[in-house]
């Protein structure tokens, strides 16, 4: 199996878990971290500013830093 096949197999198991009534946030654990993910969020302006301030800091984890910078770019 290659990475693509493994991800596709886990997606099938994820969809089966959802059909069985397992909540999406729990079933998401079936999918490997390397799989593509779409994230949705809603924040008040004050919350957004706080998130950006904390997550664009050089001490923030690299992945969340990249996400925060992308969000900042989209809203600029």
The residues assigned a catalytic role are 55
Q: Tell me the two tokens of residue 16.
A: 């089966």
Query: Token pair of 39, please?
Result: 């994230």
Q: Are 75 and 43 in contact (CB under 8 A)?
A: no
Q: Rounded to an integer, what is the distance from CA 29 to the centroid of its chain? A: 12
């Amino acid at each position: 199996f290659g990475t693509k096949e493994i991800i596709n197999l886990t997606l099938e198991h994820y969809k089966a878990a959802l059909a069985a009534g397992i909540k999406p946030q729990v079933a998401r654990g079936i999918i490997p971290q390397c799989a593509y993910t779409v994230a949705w969020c809603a924040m008040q302006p004050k919350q957004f500013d706080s998130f950006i301030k904390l997550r664009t800091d050089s001490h923030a984890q690299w992945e969340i830093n990249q996400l925060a910078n992308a969000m900042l770019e989209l809203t600029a």
